[in-house]
Amino acid sequence: MALGPRLDLRQSQSLVMTPQLQQAIKLLALSNLEIEAFIGEALEANPLLDLGEATPAPAAELPAGPPEDARRTALESSPIDQLIGEGRGADDRPLDIDASALDTDRDTGDFDAGQPSVRETAFDSGGGGGDFADGEAPDIGERGSSAETLAEHLHAQIGAVARDPRLCAIARLLIDQLDEAGYLSDPLAEIAAGMGIEPDEAEAALALIHTLDPTGVGARSLSECIALQAREADRYDPAMARLIGNLDLVARGELARLRRMCGVDEDDFADMLAELRGYDPKPGLAFGGAPASPVQPDVIVSARADGGWNIALNQATLPRLIVNRSYYVEMKGSCADKTSRAWLSEKLADANWLMKALDQRQKTILKVASEIVRQQEAFFRQGVSALKPLTLRAVAEAVALHESTVSRVTSNKYLMCDRGTYELKFFFTSGVASADGEGSVSAEAVKAAIRQLIEAETPKAILSDDALVDLLKTRGFDLARRTVAKYREAIGLGSSVQRRRQKALAGGGRG
C-alpha cells in the first residue's frame, strides 16, 4: 500500500451546546428569586425588554381521583423541547394540567407567570407546618434562622447542667473563650492560670461544656471534636478510637495501613469512614451567622373543593417580561447603518428567545410539580408518614422528560402547601423494604416512626437501637440496627445514652 498525503471526507453527528441552549438549561435550575435577579440583569443588557404589570390567570389544576380517570390535556411542544432533545412523540404521555393556565401572548412578546399571587392563595401556610401528629419536620418557612450566637446558645444550657455555682461561672468564662467554630484554641492551663483557678477546676468546667449542644463544642483539637461526637452517638469503640486518633493518615490517604491498625475488615472499615465523614468538624459554625432570608416558595399547591389540587407558580417572585415593540420600531427607523440594524435585530432575537425559554421553564416546573403531587398525594392528605418511595427516573418517565432535566427543575425549588413549605427534593425518598416483603415504604416515613417512638419514651424506659428495631418491625419496617441508628441521627435524635442524660436533666430541672 502506497504511503502519501490524501484528503478524506467524513460525516459525523455531534451535539453542540449553543449559548441559547446553555441558557435554557441554566434557567431550569434557577429558583424564582434567582430568575428575578436574572431578569434584572437581562433588562439592563437589552433595551427592548421591559417589565409589565402581572395579570393573574387561573392556576393549573390537578383533577381528583386516579390519574387514569382524569381528563388529560397535552401541552404544546415548544422549540426548547426540540433543542434539548426532549420533544414528545406519538407515544407521549399527556398531563393533567389545563393548557389555558400556561398560555402566553407570543404575538405581543409577553412573558407572564400567569399564576395567582401568593397573597391571593386561600390558605394559611403557617397553620399547617408546625403541628403534625405523625412527627413531620417543621415548615421550612419557619426556619428563618435567628441571630442567636454560639455563646448565647451555650449560656442558655449551662445553667441546667451545672449544679455548682462556681463551676458554672468557670464554664461561662470558658464559653466566651471559644472561637466561631466552637474550639478552645488557647491552652487550658494558660486560661486557668489567667483566671486564677486550679487546672482541675478548668477541666471539670470544660467537661460540662462537652455535654452541651452542639456536640463537639469546647474541643481543643479536631480529633477531640470528632471523638466527642462519636461518644455521643455510642460509636466510640477501640477501632473507631484508633481511626480518630490517626486522622493524619486519613488525610494522606493511607487507608490500607489505617485499616490494619484498626483491625477490621474492609466492609466495617468502609462503614467507619462513612461515619467519620458524617461528623461535623466545626459544630460552632451553625450559629452566629446573619439571619437567613425566609424561604420563598416557587410552587403553590392548594386543595380544591372537589378533592383535586390547584398548582401554581408563585407570581410574587415572577415578574412579567415583555418586548417593547414600539421602542423597537422607533429605534429601527433611526438605524442608518447596517451594523446598527444588525445589533437591533440581535437584541430582538435575544429578547424573544429569553421569553420562550422562560415560558418553557414555567411549563416544565408545573409538569414536574403536578406529577410529584400526583405521586405523593397521600402525603398532602395524611402527612409525612404516607410518603412513598419516589425517584427522579419515575417522574421523568411519567412526564416524558430526561432525568437530568427533572433534577434541574427540582433543585433550589420549594413547594408550599397547607402542611408547610418543602424543598421539591424532599419528595424524592429512598425505599425501605417492608417487614411482610410486599412493596417498600419511604425512608421519611421510617424517620417519622422513629421520632414517634422516641418522643413517647419515658426517662425510665429509654429505647436502645435494638429495641427500636423490634418495635419498627411490628409496624412493618424491616431494618438493621445500623440503619435505624443512621436514620435516628439524620433527624437529630441522640443515642439512648444521650437521651437518658437529657431527660434526667430535664426531670431534675422541673423538680
Beta strands 414-417 and 320-323, pairing class = unpaired
Cell numbers placing 189: 492551663
Q: What span, in angstroms and rounded, lies between the C-alpha atoms of 234 and 244?
A: 14
- In this predicted structure, what is the pLDDT of residue 432? 62
Cβ atoms < 10 Å from Cβ of 469: 19
> Which residues are paired to 431 by β-bridges?
442
Closest by Cα among 61, 58, 29 to 307: 61
Beta strands 431-433 and 299-303, pairing class = unpaired
> Are 351 and 322 in contact, with CB atoms under 8 Å apart?
no
- In this predicted structure, what is the pLDDT of residue 506? 62
| Residue 282 Cα distances to 217, 223, 313, 486, 503, angstroms | 8, 12, 38, 20, 26
Q: What span, in angstroms and rounded, lies between the C-alpha atoms of 58 and 38?
A: 25
CATH numeric code, 430-510: 1.10.10.60
Question: What is the sign of the dihedral through the CA atoms of 25, 30, 36 and 41?
Answer: negative
Q: What is the DSSP letter of 73?
A: B
Report which residue type is found at 408: R
Q: What is the DSSP letter of 74?
A: P
Closest by Cα among 285, 293, 291 to 421: 293
Q: What span, in angstroms and rounded, lies between the C-alpha atoms of 245 and 223?
A: 6
Q: What span, in angstroms and rounded, lies between the C-alpha atoms of 234 and 139?
A: 30
> Are 222 and 185 in contact, with CB atoms under 8 Å apart?
no
On whether the pTM is more than 0.75, the answer is no
Beta strands 420-423 and 414-417, pairing class = antiparallel
The upper half-sphere exposure of residue 377, i.e. CA atoms within 13 Å in the direction of its Cβ, equals 16
DSSP H or E segment with residue 445: helix 443-456
Cell numbers placing 88: 414528545
Q: What span, in angstroms and rounded, lies between the C-alpha atoms of 426 and 383?
A: 13
Q: What is the DSSP letter of 317?
A: G
Q: Where are the domains of the chain?
A: 29-71+111-142+295-426, 150-286, 430-510
> Are 424 and 41 in contact, with CB atoms under 8 Å apart?
no
Query: Exposed/middle/buried for 36, CB within 10 Å: 0-12, 13-18, 19+?
Result: middle
Beta strands 420-423 and 299-303, pairing class = unpaired
Report residue 60: phi and psi, to 5°: -65, 145
Largest CA distance in the chain: 101
Q: What span, in angstroms and rounded, lies between the C-alpha atoms of 95 and 378?
A: 19
> Are 336 and 328 in contact, with CB atoms under 8 Å apart?
no
- In this predicted structure, what is the pLDDT of residue 370? 93
Q: What is the DSSP letter of 61?
A: E
Cell numbers placing 361: 421553564
- In this predicted structure, what is the pLDDT of residue 137? 46
Question: What is the sign of the dihedral through the CA atoms of 102, 36, 129 and 284?
Answer: positive
Instruction: Provide DSSP, 240-277.
Output: HHHHHTTHHHHHHT-HHHHHHHHT--HHHHHHHHHHHH
Closest by Cα among 423, 365, 451 to 141: 423
Ordered per-residue pLDDT tens for the chain, 511 residues: 567 788 888 887 776 667 777 778 888 888 777 888 888 888 888 888 888 765 444 455 665 554 433 333 223 333 333 323 333 333 333 333 333 333 333 333 444 443 333 323 332 323 333 333 344 444 444 444 445 788 888 888 887 777 777 888 888 888 888 888 889 888 888 888 888 888 888 888 888 888 888 888 898 999 899 899 888 888 888 888 888 888 888 887 788 888 888 888 888 888 888 888 888 888 888 876 544 456 788 899 998 888 888 999 888 777 778 888 888 888 888 877 888 888 888 888 888 888 888 888 889 999 999 999 998 888 888 877 677 888 888 899 999 988 888 888 888 888 998 888 888 888 887 666 555 554 566 777 788 888 888 888 888 888 888 888 888 888 777 778 888 888 888 777 888 888 887 777 666 544 4
Q: What span, in angstroms and rounded, lies between the C-alpha atoms of 167 and 78?
A: 70
